[in-house]
Each structure stands twice: as structure tokens, then as C-alpha cells.
Amino acid sequence: MRFTKSRILALSFVVATTAATAHGNDHGLDARNFDTAVSPCQDFFEYANGGWLKSNPIPAEYSLWSLDSEINERNLSILRNILGNAAAHPGVPDSATQKIGDFYAAAMDETAIDKAGILPLKNDLATIAALKSPADVASLIGAWQARGEDVLFDFEAQPDLKDSIKDIAYAGQGGLGLPDRDYYLRDDAKSKTLRAQYQAHVARMLKLLGDADAKTEAAAVLALETRLARASLDRVALRDPANSYHIYTLKDADAKTPHFSWSGFFHNVGRDDVRSFSLAQPDFFVAADKALADAPVAQWQAYLRWRLIDADATYLGKDFVAADFDFHGRILRGAKQIQPRWKRAIRSADFAVGELLGQAYVAQVFPPEAKQRALVLVNNLKLAMHARIERLGWMSAATKQAAYAKLDTLVAKIGYPDKWRDYAKLEISRNSYVDNMRAATAFEARRQFAKFDHPVDRSEWDMTPQTVNAYYNPMGNEIVFPAAQLLPPYFDAKADDALNYGGIGSVIGHEMTHGFDDQGSQFDAKGNLADWWTKADRAEFEARTAKLVEQFNAYVPVDDLHINGKLTLGENIADLGGLLIAYDAFKLTPQGKSDAKIDGLTPDQRFFLAYAQTWRTAQRPEQVRLQVQSNEHAPAKFRTNGPVSDVPAFAHAFACKAGDAMQRPASTIVNIW
């Protein structure tokens, strides 16, 4: 139930790359990336990126390949050096170097991992085997959840949506092995095939665990997960924050789910003092509780064995790793081969000891002056958005005042946290990869549990500095930009303004606009879920956003699969607003005011090309399907062509005419912020 937003999809197997391409060295637009055989007015994405797409086939180990992949690849070699050096010279016990070094060494020790086999899971498997009654099942689930393993539901601290200065506990729907609840319920042929492949994968994994009747167990797992899926809200419903905010006292929650004791659970997590929390989706918990009571214990045992192995497979021996990749990497995302071990180890380190690694990373790539330069840009973008709101013809003065209040108090976090996370209580050794991952999971869980009912720590970050991404957090009214997002070519001090405003400027504008999208606009300047709109303005906002839903519903990225305009609405509002704000801010710079060409391109053309080039992305069809069916972000091509076709300055810059694909009829053009 996180309401924070990420700009780029953060899926596993997406992270990085092998082949670096030419960019950034000349601090300009690389004309080799263009495909001038395509008209910019027919398909701007192809025009701007067609050359790049032709010369950058997706590496076998990836399901998509993009600018962010290229940046990630540079990051990976930096992080590999940091981790390799730490592993070779771990230094004193409990130091940062010891922790990241030993973590990496254990993760890389394939021989020891293979030799251990499923020994690290032995105790848990024995506990599952000993279950006798529904009460035993409920108590085991509670015990695992208390270790931070989200077996059946998500459990974490988030600000109280109506009193955002304090954190409370949220228990949210979960417990599924497929990417989304709809994967269990769709009736088309492709979905049915995928379910059969999933069930075969579950059986394969259980067989690797040594189960004799793995096939029967897999069918039982799928049946139980389907029950949970039916009781789960879909992703569009989850976009409405009210659907995840249901405050219960522990006593009332216990009455709601008589077979799962929340009082006992809060005792297990060490927070007897907590009196209430959000049972975020009550209907889901009622259904799960019913399953606890009436599904056979043997079905739960199969389910728990599956949940255990699915969570730990990638930290075990090569058979488990290969089987896990076969489903999650190959079938679900279309990758052709698994990433080398060191890249997978870095991804785990990013989860387990991310801010320890981040400190070493920042020291290498992000000097203090970079932070200052980014802050100047953020302020220019804020001014541009303020001016846009002033000019909005459709909004009343009263709503505008509230919007200014929200914009003026927006906080920008740049590069890395002012206060680094304290890892003193996390123990990491060279002995076992899976034990280190479990220690890190439990450490993070204790950190979450300690927050319940306490003031929010506004200095915290939800992403590590080495992450190529950014987010807006509506409860903190803050935009957050990790160092890795602020590197060339997004942000290049030596490039012309058109490139920086089209690049990082549109990213900053995007995150700012999230504060005013279909979801963010329901939160006020203080980060509370509170209505600051007049009725008429809200109705007009919804009429305008409905047009954007329609625009994106019409796009078909793969086969006959349409983009879900409602699911992607927040991102699409942010993309369009971000582009407009960045363009306005660019027009205030000396280059934006001039018409001096560089390399034959006008300032405006360079601005829009820079925007499109940050979206250069090639995706395997499997990955596109997965994204369209389970992700709030539309595929990159539509995040380029969609917004530019709503911006009249774009059509002007490239002299597009009525009838061109990129110049939609005036009546369909969307204008919100």
C-alpha cells in the first residue's frame, strides 16, 4: 500500500546492462541515435531513437534495454569495485567495510551455497511439516510475518493518511506468487497458458525441495492463491488511498478475523503497546481468515513450502536459481539468459546494506556542488509550475491558493540522505548468503515495527543513492532524487540548457506534478488525505483527466493489449505536466529565448529530442505484456509520443500539420497542469 511513486518500473531482472553505447562524451545530442527516415510528426519516439534502437539490441540477460540500463551498467561496475575491494579488505568487525565486504563474499561463494543445499531451510521445513491444526497454521504465519517475511500479507509502517506526522502500522493484501491478482482471474488463452506454466514452476520447485507429490501440491497452491486473488482489490482500486485506510482497534480486528489474532501478532512483533492500525483491505483479511479456518492443513502446508522456497530460491544453489530464472526471467519477462552472479549479488546488497553501499558510491560520483546545481534547477521548475497554475483558466482562485500552498512547501531531497541509516544492529557474516538476506529482512522489519505510533522521520529515503529513479511521497509532500538519477546525460553541467531541461528538468517536473495527479491531489500541503478543492474545480479536473484516460486507453503496445488508462493515469498526468513545466522553465533561460541553432537544431527541437532520448528503450514482448498488465507506467514509447502530442509547442517546433499522428485534433488535446 505504498503511495510513493517511482518514475521507472523497478522490476527485478530489469536493472542493468553489458554494452555501453556512445553518449555523454560530447555533452550533446548524438545524431546517430536518430532515425531520420521516420517523420518526427508521425512517430517522434522512432525519429529520436530509431538509430539507437537499431544499434542496441537487448542483451540476452535483459528483458529491456534503455538509457537507464546504460547508466545502471556504469553504476554496476562502480559498485562491483567497491564491493570487491571491501571483500578483499573487510577491516575491523562491524565496520561498514566488513558488512558490505562479507555480504558480497558470501553472495559470490557459489561453491559454499551449492554445498549447503536446502540446509538453511531445514528448520522452517520441519516446522511446516509439524503443523496439525488451523491454529498452528495461523500461528506459523504470524511468526514468519514477525520475522519480516510477508507470507500472507504486507506489513509495514506508513504515515497515518489523515495525520501524516505520525507513522502507523498497515496490514495490506498479499500472499500471491504471480505479479497481480488479475493473473489468476483472466480468461484469455495467453493468461491460461501462463497459469499452467506457473503451476508447473511451483511443482518443479517443490520437487527440488524433495516433495513426492509436487504436482498435487502445486494445484493446491494455485487454488489457494486464486482464493486470495478473488478477495484482493485490483490495481486501479488500490490507486484510491481511501481503499487502503481502515483503522481498527486490535480488539475489533481480532473480531473481524477470528482465526488470526492481531493482539498476539503485535505481541510477537514486540509492540504490545499499539492499540490500533490500518487493516488496509478488510475484505481480503476476512477471506484469508475464512481460508485459515476451512482450507485443509495440507493445502496450507503446500502453500507455505512454496512461499518459503519462492522467497529464498535466488539465494540458494544453482538448481533453484535456474528454476527461478526460468519462470520469472524467461517466461514472464522474456530474458534469454540469467545475469552474471555478481550483478545479482549487487542487487541483493542494494536491498540488504543499501545505504552503506550508497555512502561509498556517493563519495565517488556525486560531489557536493552537484547537489547545489540540482537545487537551482528544482527552484526554477517550481517557479515555472507556480506561473502555470496562475495562468490556469479552469481553476478558481480558492483552489489555486491551496495549490500554491502545496507547491511552496514541497520539499526536495537531492542525491543522498542528510542522515545515513544506522546498520549497527545488523549482523552480516561470510557464512551464508541466505542467512544474511534473512538477517537483513528481519533488521528492516524491526526498523518498521519500531516506527508504529511514533513521529515520522522525515529525513529517511525510500530509495538508495545508487538507484536510477526518483519519487514523490504525498505524505511528506516531497520529491526525492537519488544521485544516480542526476548524472549525465539526464543532468550534464557541460551540456546546453535544452538538454538539461528536456532531460532532468522533465524528470523533476514529473515528480512535482505527482503531487497534483489523481492520487497526489487528494493530499494537502501537510501530507494529509484532505480535500482542498472546490466542487466545481474537482469536477473539471476529473473531466480533464478522463480525456487523458481515453487517450491512453487507445494505445496498443503489444498484440491486442491496450494500455490501461486508469491504471497509468497518475504517471501520465505527471509526464504531461512535467514536460510542460520543464518547457516553460527552459523558455526562461537565455537559450530558450534565443533561436540559435546547434548542430542544425533549434533550441525547442533540442529540448524535445532530449526528452525523447531519455526514454530510449527496447523491450521484449513478454516484458511489455507484464508491464501493461501490472504496472502503473506505460511503455516508454507512449510516455514519449503521448505527452508530446498534447503539447502545441512540439508540433510548432517540428512544423507538424493537421492529420499528422503527433498532432491530434484540438478537441482531444489534454491540458491539466
List contacts with Zn ion (CB under 5 A): 5, 7, 571, 574
Q: Exposure of 70 by Cβ count < 10 A (0-12 exposed, 13-18 middle, 19+ buried)?
A: buried
Q: How far is the CB of 519 from Zn ion (least distance, A)?
A: 10
State in angstroms the smallest separation of the CB of 640 from Zn ion: 15
Handedness of CA 371, 373, 377, 379 (dihedral sign): positive
Q: How far apart are CA 377 and CA 369, in angstroms?
A: 13
Q: CB of 508 within 8 A of CB of 377?
A: yes
H helical segments located in 231-340: 235-238, 250-256, 262-268, 282-294, 297-312, 318-324, 332-333
Q: Residue 127's closest CA among 303, 301, 315?
A: 301
Residue closer to Zn ion by CB (options 68, 571) is 571
Nearer to Zn ion by Cβ, of 82 and 636: the residue is: 636
Closer to Zn ion at the Cβ: 5 or 74?
5
- Whether the link from the prior residue into 241 is cis, omega within 30° of 0, is no
Q: How far is the CB of 130 from Zn ion (least distance, A)?
A: 46
Smallest gap from Cβ 633 to Zn ion, in A, equals 7
Q: Which residue, 334 or 578, is less far from Zn ion as judged by CB? A: 578
CB of 69 to Zn ion, least distance (A): 18
Residue 453 Ramachandran class (φ > 0 left, ψ -120 to 50 alpha, else beta)? left
- Residue 5 vs 227, nearer CB to Zn ion: 5
Rounded distance, CA 496 to CA 228, Å? 53
CB of 506 vs Zn ion, minimal distance in Å:
11
Report how far residue 331's alpha carbon sits from residue 217's, in angstroms, rounded to the nearest whole number. 21
CB nearer Zn ion, residue 301 or residue 467: 467
Q: Which is nearer to Zn ion, 440 or 569 (CB)?
A: 569
CB nearer Zn ion, residue 483 or residue 574: 574
| Nearest CB to Zn ion, comparing residues 131 and 573 | 573
Closer to Zn ion by Cβ: residue 328 or 639: 639
Nearer to Zn ion, 7 or 616 (CB): 7
Least Å distance, CB 652 to Zn ion, is 27
Give me the least distance between CB of 462 and Zn ion, in Å please: 13
Nearest CB to Zn ion, comparing residues 104 and 481? 481
Work out how close the CB of 191 gets to Zn ion at its nearest, in angstroms, rounded to a whole number: 27
Nearest approach, Cβ of 5 to Zn ion (angstroms)?
4
- Per-residue b or e along 610-636, where b marks 16 or more CB atoms closer than 10 Å to that residue's CB: bbbbbbbbbbbebbbbbbbbbbbbbbb
| Strand partners of residue 66 | 617
- Based on its alpha-carbon atoms, the radius of gyration of the chain, rounded to whole angstroms, reads 25
Of 5 and 181, nearer to Zn ion (C-beta) is 5
Min dist. Cβ of residue 461 to Zn ion (A): 16
Would you give the DSSP letter of residue 120?
G
Q: Does residue 279 sit in helix, strand or coil?
A: strand
Query: What CA–CA distance (Å, rounded) separates 452 from 5?
Result: 22
Triad 447, 455, 408: Cα angle to 5°: 115
Smallest separation (angstroms) from Zn ion to the CB of 504 = 14
State which residue, 5 or 606, has the beta carbon closest to Zn ion. Answer: 5
What residues contact 630, with CB distance under 8 A and at least 6 apart?
A: 179, 180, 182, 183, 235
- How far apart CA 333 and CA 330 sit, in angstroms, is 6
Cα distance between the two ends of the chain:
26
509 vs 603 by CB, closer to Zn ion: 509
Quote the least distance from Cβ 471 to Zn ion, whole Å.
7
State the SS3 of 575-607: HHHHHHHHHHHHHCCHHHHCCCCECCECHHHHH
Q: How far apart are CA 221 and CA 98, in angstroms?
A: 40
Q: For Zn ion, which is the closer residue by CB, 428 or 468?
A: 468
Task: Please tell me the distance from the alpha carbon of residue 312 to that of residue 125, in angstroms, as a whole number.
Answer: 13
Q: How far is the CB of 353 from Zn ion (least distance, A)?
A: 27
In the complex, the smallest distance separating the C-beta of residue 507 from Zn ion, rounded to whole angstroms, is 9
Contacts of 380 (CB under 8 A, 6+ apart): 585, 588
**Residue 161 in grid coordinates:** 493518511
As a residue count, the chain comes to: 673
- The nearer residue to Zn ion, 5 or 388, going by C-beta atoms, is 5
Query: Residue 640's CB: how many other CB atoms inside 10 A?
Result: 28
Q: Cα separation of 223 and 233, whole Å?
A: 18
- In the complex, what is the shortest distance from the CB of residue 547 to Zn ion, in angstroms, rounded to a whole number? 19
Burial class (CB in 10 A: 0-12, 13-18, 19+), 514: buried
- Report the alpha-carbon distance of residue 158 to residue 165 in Å, rounded: 10
Name the burial class of residue 212, with classes exposed (0-12), middle (13-18) and buried (19+) by CB atoms within 10 angstroms of its CB: exposed
Alpha-carbon span 149 to 340, nearest angstrom = 26
Mapped onto helix, strand or coil, the DSSP state of residue 6 is strand
CB of 548 to Zn ion, least distance (A): 14
